[in-house]
Structure 1
């Protein structure tokens, strides 16, 4: 059974992403496009457009051409946007690198992507130099200071005539982000100009979601290297002529201060930050009344935490759903949805088909049945770079992308993501979803954060174990944790073991790194 959303399909122009995002800015040239939160530096749409053109001209003059790959290894800065769009304007490809990567991890991505240039900041220069000893690049360019390497400003050419190449939007790549690697080695995700443009048009066509408009100030705290920050915040906000408040790092009080200072209206964030809004004591110290919408994505958000945060902050919280391989958005929750839908990831966006499939038989399922979420639409990637086998495993011959996520659709067409297939715990042959138990445990007043992992057991196969971060002022015992869950779930879902820790390991996008905890458990 194939499910679609309630909105009509949309179309996309045959353009380069850079032209699509910043084509005609005449009506907004003096409007602020980006504010750097830490320095209060402001850049207008006119200044942004000029900087992009000048950098594109400088790169072209130095031999960068269509199809070449440039790596950005930097925290969120206005220059990140300039570099990204200048590269795309030339028909080049941006591979965006996690700024927390080690030199070894950076070298692997540079090599796999065959990057010609790396753009970084002075704080990361030593790691960049070490990485380029393994994979030589043509040039290292530094954004923020004068070093022995060329500075970004020094590369900009005001007088060089820019020659923009013709592109084939459906075939030519523009972005090469790497998947998180939480279920395997990181892989380069090949995204075309059409993929990204179509996903922005699909989001725009989701009128019930109250998408970003020119009236909005959008908080850019999620990293731009990640597909969520790259497309939903960086590109889509500029396409809609909003203003981005750019934060180079996350700190809860700085995050709250940025909302208050810049009167942020839309905040695309991840569940750990929603959890902070629900439970962090500093929230009461700041005026967050400007917020109209919090969009949570990248990982499952528990209904209890969502309700608690929404009530505390006083604005709507809506989940979205997507993945790097889908550019990223596939589902959004309509703003006027019934309050009991707050735990839903929403409905499919325009031009998107969804099936719930039995993971073992691959037969389509009906409503209210758990299965793997399969997605088909114009936002689905071209494939994994140099990994034809992995591409064929993830995309069927009919064009369905296998998400690896378990979910279901209710009778009204609202979807729910339950967990990852590979993260399911098998207790005496019955499936236990860690995310479901985590959402429940986060409603406990003495629990600040939690992850649930499998522990091998001779009799049961696997036992669910809760790895818990206590709230300092509210101690809780293992017995209390287990009892709290036992009263609310079926017997096979009970927590059987508890461990207390100081911190839950998470990726930059907010996903629990369950494999790290599982590996530690196995090493005991």
Structure 2
């Protein structure tokens, strides 16, 4: 039987994001409550300043560029307190926001701009050269590249977003009506760690639901007027706003609850002494269940299923057994942009989303994620989780970092695990990166795992493990590297 959330169900209002945030009838905090503050400059937005800035920008979109329902604005920027008003100004005008990773190259950004048919690109001076090059590739006019942040263009060739106004005032613009369940709010692109990035379609209702779920999950532990000085709780925002977690748990959650968000362009550990402030693990249990992703938020249900290699139907596994996580609820995304095949492959007709996450649920209802289905190595009918082997390998004194992938082996007639290892230079200096040293690590691991998990593909020593900006191992690049290697180091197992 699928597991339902232990939280009471919450009523999800049938409204769009703007209406939820700025037309709240029971809002507890005042208009002058600071919501977003820049960690470097101290510049800030109060609740009312966010609303008025967003409103003026939304009117400017309509006045300057004839903005229509469904038009897309792209944001290519590090975290900034200017991002929220640009998002909600776009929503007020009926538009959709697609946030892009500021580390993208021009080609990577152009791929997203083309796929979403973006009409306007918002960026910062630090990202401007890449933004201009990408816009040129897809035909976005230079006068539709606008700037965020404190820095202005020296020749004013690119306008600051606050200059996008309804200057004439001769035409009165009204908020565009949207259908919360059907109309998109965001197009967030997947990381592309296992293939080409895909546009994830999120409706207004998806986000509104998630805001209420997060509020319930806080269980009253965060408030706008808490703390010793009664100035309210503060959240440190360093997780990227181009990622859905940053968008919902930080940007939207803060303004809905009146919390003070201190925004960092990126994480700087030297300036940070804090702990996570928003999560799904119940507050009293976070020390007791280290490693768990927590319990289900309200209005959700979940189950773990088998991942058969043949065409047979997946079967639900009992509590405590490992399987693929399926979830269902009103915050599940609408599907992939212009990709019905990918959507059908992961969202069933009755609303179950195959997350691709592998894990299990314990007897108390806490969920654990141990790997990804697409990353599982299929060895003669057995499934090997790379993350498990990586966790063991990094306990070895000679291993600084590790990544495990599956490679096709003609000798074994199946996929076999291979480890790419960054050695500890104090134990394995560069001149000792030999097959013999790799063999020693293979033998060490062999004593700790079942036979089917052995490193039959051997060990490769590398200078670094390729990872995305969010820390995900880019196994696709390692697989490409493996194909190019003519003489792999093999362990004689």
TM-score if structure 2 supplies the norm length?
A: 0.84
**Aligned equivalents of 2:315 and 2:375: distance in 1?**
21
- Residue 178 of structure 2 corresponds to which residue in structure 1? 167
Unaligned runs of 5+ in 1: 260-287, 296-319, 321-331
Whether the 8 Å contact between 2:29 and 2:258 is mirrored in structure 1 is no
Pairing 1:47-126 to 2, within 5 Å after superposition: 47-62=49-64, 63-126=66-129
Pair 20,444 (structure 1): closer, same or farther in 2 beyond 3 Å: farther
- The corresponding residue for 1:353 is 301
Aligned residue in 1 for 2:228: none
From 503, 514, 518, the counterpart of 2:464: 503
Match of 2:433 in 1: none
Instruction: List runs of 5+ in structure 2 lacking aligned partners.
Output: 225-231, 430-436, 486-493
Structure 1 runs of 4+ off > 6 angstroms? none
TM-superposed CA distance for 1:7, in Å, is 0.8
CA contact (8 A) 2:195 2:476 kept: no
Could you list the per-position Cα deviations for residues 387-443 of structure 1 after superposition, in whole angstroms to 9, with x for gaps in the alignment?
Answer: 122212221111111112222222332222221112111234321101112233344
More divergent stretch after superposition (337-346 vs 504-513): 337-346
Match of 2:421 among 458, 468, 491: 468
The whole-number CA distance in structure 1 between the counterparts of 2:237 and 2:340 is 34
**Are 1:145 and 2:157 counterparts?**
no
Query: Deviation at 1:70?
Result: 0.7
Q: Is the 8 A contact 2:53 2:162 kept in 1?
A: no
Cα–Cα, structure 1 residues 211 and 436, in superposed 2: closer, same or farther, change >3 Å?
A: farther
Asked whether the equivalents of residues 92 and 175 of structure 2 are also in contact (C-alpha less than 8 Å), the reply is yes
Note the C-alpha offset of 1:8: 1.1
- Check if 1:154 corresponds to 2:163: yes
Task: Tell me if structure 2 keeps the 8 A contact 1:226–1:509.
Answer: no
- Which residue of structure 1 aligns with residue 452 of structure 2? 492
User: Structure 1 residues 96 and 292, CA, compared in 2 at 3 Å: closer, same or farther?
Assistant: closer
Shift of 1:72: 0.8
The answer to whether structure 1 residue 336 and structure 2 residue 284 are counterparts is yes
Conserved 8 A contact 1:65-1:92: yes
C-alpha distance in 2, partners of 1:358/1:392?
18
Instruction: Supply the distance in 1 between the matched residues of 2:460 and 2:470 (Cα, whole angstroms).
Output: 24
Task: Kindly state the Cα deviation for residue 454 of structure 1 after the two structures are TM-superposed.
Answer: 1.9
Measured after TM superposition, the shift of residue 60 of structure 1 is: 2.1
Q: Is the 8 A contact 1:212 1:237 kept in 2?
A: no
1:225 matched to 2:225? The reply is no
3-state secondary structure, aligned to 2:188: coil
Q: How many residues align?
A: 454
Partner of 2:432 in structure 1? none
Contact conserved, 2:194 with 2:475, CA < 8 A, in 1?
no
Whether the 8 Å contact between 1:204 and 1:211 is mirrored in structure 2 is no
Give matches, 1:25-36, under 5 Å: 27-36=29-38
Report deviation, 1:458. Answer: 3.0
Moved more, 86-95 or 118-127: 118-127
Tell whether 2:14 aligns with 1:7. no
Residue of 177, 194, 197 corresponding to 1:183: 194
CA shift, 1:42, in A, is 2.8
SS in 1 for 2:212: helix
Matches within 5 A, 1:314-325: none
Structure 1 pair 400–224 and aligned structure 2 pair: CA distance change class (3 A): same
1:379 aligns with 2:386: no
Alignment of 1:241 onto 2:258:
yes
Partners of 2:358 and 2:369 within 8 A in 1: yes
338 and 110 in structure 1: CA distance in 2 versus 1, 3 angstrom threshold:
closer
- Counterpart-to-counterpart distance in 1, 2:471 and 2:257: 26
Match of 2:30, SS state, is coil
Relative distance call for 1:383 and 1:453 in structure 2 (3 A) is same
Q: CA deviation at 1:2?
A: 0.9
In the TM superposition, what are the counterparts of 1:391-430 in structure 2 within 5 Å? 391-430=343-382
Alpha carbons of structure 1 residues 23 and 338: separation in structure 2 relative to 1, 3 Å: closer
Change (3 A) 1:256 1:30: farther
Distance 2:61 2:326 in 1: 40
Equivalent runs, 1:299-318 vs 2, <5 Å: none
Q: Which residue of 2 aligns with 1:279?
A: none
Alpha-carbon distance in 1 for matches of 2:367, 2:50: 39
2: CA distance, partners of 1:293 / 1:346: 13
Distance change (3 Å), C-alpha of 1:442 and 1:45: farther
Residues 1:242 and 1:513: Cα distance change in structure 2 (over 3 Å): same
Contact map agreement 1:54 1:158 (CA 8 A) in 2: no
| Residue 231 of structure 1, CA deviation | 1.2
- Aligned partners of 2:256 and 2:13: how far apart in 1? 13
Cα RMSD of the aligned pairs, angstroms, is 2.6
Tell me the distance in 1 between the aligned counterparts of 2:197 and 2:140.
21
CA-to-aligned-CA distance 1:190-223 (integer Å, 9 cap, x gap): 1111100101111222246x76543332222121
State the distance in 1 between where 2:425 and 2:260 align: 38
Deviates more, 1:19-28 or 1:395-404: 19-28
Shift of 1:384: 1.3
Distance 1:158 1:409 in 2: 57
Partner of 2:177, secondary structure, is: coil
Change (3 A) 1:339 1:479: farther
TM-score w.r.t. structure 1 length? 0.80
- Aligned mates of 2:283, 2:447 — CA distance in 1: 33
